[in-house]
Amino acid sequence: MSIPREESSSGRRTFGTSGAQVAAANEPPRSRVARSDTGAVGLGPGTVESVTPATIDRELRLARAAVFGAFTLNGFLLALWVVHIPAITDRAGVSPSLLGMFVLLLAGAAIVGMRAAGPAADRFGSRTLVAVAATAISVTVIGPGLATGPVALGLALACFGLGNGALDVSMNTQAVHVERAYRRPIMSAFHAMFSGGGFAGALVGAATQRAGWSPALTLTCAGAVGLLVTALLVPHLVAHHQHADPSTPEFPERRAPQGESRSGCPGEPGDDTATADHLTPTRPADTAPNHDAPTADRLAHIRPAEDYAGTPSSARRDVGARGHAAAADRAAPETPSSSAARTRREQHRDTARARKVLSLGVIAFVLLLAEGVAGDWSALQARAHLGVSEGDAALAFGAFSATMTLGRFGADRVSGAIGPVAILRYGSLLAAAGLAVVIASPWLPLTLLGWAMCGLGLAGGVPQIFTAAGNLGGSTAATDMSRVFTIGYLGLLAGPALIGWLTALIPLTAALVVPLVLTLASAAAAPMVARRP
């Protein structure tokens, strides 16, 4: 929506108004909407474009819904592959031992896709990569259903894994930027939608198998749905130029036309204000808005008014003066000593970022290791330790997955109230306590309680890590996230394998002490996810 405004002495005015008129105007700005003969909202001459909070809310909601769709689609397609594993392996003539190798092949291909996705997203934008990766998994998910031999199945799983890894990184990068625009935690909800998509995929797969559908038919229909969903969600994702440098605010500074100061008064530096219920435009007055541009692209021209509100005028002038001084310093010729100092600062910053990425990756490794152990060994532990039936043992994983899904839906609000550090610290402690209950429990209900505690404790930690990785700053946000994601994904693979090796030496229940100790260590490392000031 385009709304020309008469600006007051707080810094908002129609360009061309005299300084005396600006000084005399001390009432809140009034809005005048210019409409064309067709009724479309347009700009009057010499005015700037403003977008109402309602417009921003609508566009951000669409961006959030699009990222929700990407997470749901990913979980949905993965679940359909998982529930069809028995039928697919029978058709392809794959033994259980060879299937284990193929699962590792899929995971290895996913890691390759993750490593390649980070630099690609930084260069071309995560929106482009989501489009490519979501299209890829929608097409390649059909391959396993068509495979008639081990070689064909291996190639199909490798292609599917590459697309899945690329989508993991690119959709999490999108989630970070949408969360930043919302200015409140919403990352856990995205991961909850992945779990929800997996649940829906399991139900659909079970229903189609009961109806007598072949894996090829089910996966082909799922791929077609995936292509349709991708076409619908990609236009609403965040554009590349909006997050080329995550170290800067997600909404750029307001810029006045050439020859005007940012306050609209010639010669007065940087008096930036806005009322709390308005948004300030970034497009110059002499530039016509592009109302046909994608909604996500238009978000780049808006900065929330809260960035300006509540700052004294003198302080704003001081900030503006410092900004002009900094610009003058940048314009001055660079001496060899200043160049060397700048190089040292950049090297120090890069080293610090690399250490932070490694630290976040290690924490993600630990949490996903515990999650992988719960996924693969919870039912087996209940049956081996308690001697219950297979049906009752399956309730162990059900308790874990149910509380993890519910916890991720609620983790964002809790994180907004107590912060990401507390989420990771107390969540890790709760998960460790749950594992301790499982180890000590002699009864199934108590074991189910322990796995439920573990799922709830692990629900919010990984989303906080991905948010912290995406907000490290610099121009390599997607690359940083891909590295953290890759290290964490290794934990998801290593956890079940590690427990399997240990069971050759000690009982399965005793082997659960390893993830218990590691989750306690992640609680101690919780300050690593603190929000940047």
| pLDDT for residue 87 | 86
Query: Given this model, what pLDDT does residue 479 score?
Result: 77
> Which residues in 275-307 are b (16+ Cβ under 10 Å) and which e?
eeebbbbbbebeeebeeeebbbbbbbbbbbbeb
Rounded Cα–Cα distance for residues 490 and 159 (Å) = 19
Q: Encode 466-520 in three state secondary structure.
A: HHHHHCCCCCCHHHHHHHHHHHHHHHHHHHHHHHHHHCCCCCHHHHCHHHHHHHH
pLDDT of residue 312: 42
Helix count and strand count (H, E) for the chain: 19, 6
What is the reported pLDDT for 67?
Answer: 95
CA 21 to centroid of chain Cα atoms: 47
Q: Which CATH superfamily is domain 356-533 in?
A: MFS general substrate transporter like domains (1.20.1250.20)
Q: May I ask the CATH class of domain 60-254?
A: mainly alpha
What pLDDT does 365 receive?
94
DSSP state string for 264-333:
SSTT--------TT-EEE-S-TTS---TTS-HHHHGGGEEEGGGTTT--HHHHHHHHHHHHHHHHHHHSP
Q: Where in the chain is the domain with CATH 1.20.1250.20?
A: 60-254, 356-533
Are 125 and 240 a contacting pair, CB within 8 Å? yes
Query: What local confidence, expressed as pLDDT, does residue 252 receive?
Result: 35
pLDDT at 474: 62
C-alpha separations of 373 from 83, 105, 247 in Å: 19, 19, 36
* pLDDT of amino acid 133: 96
Q: What is the 3-state secondary structure (H, E, C) of 82-145?
A: HHCHHHHHHHHCCCHHHHHHHHHHHHHHHHHHHHHHHHHHHHHCHHHHHHHHHHHHHHHCHHHH
Amino acid identity at 40:
A
Smallest CA-to-CA distance from 229 within 106, 363, 72, 111 is with: 72
What pLDDT score was predicted for residue 74? 93
User: Block means of pLDDT (10 residues each) for the chain, length 533 residues?
Assistant: 38 39 39 36 36 64 93 90 83 80 84 87 88 96 94 94 92 88 83 84 84 93 96 88 42 37 37 35 40 41 39 42 49 65 74 86 93 82 84 79 86 85 94 96 94 92 85 71 84 81 87 94 90 64
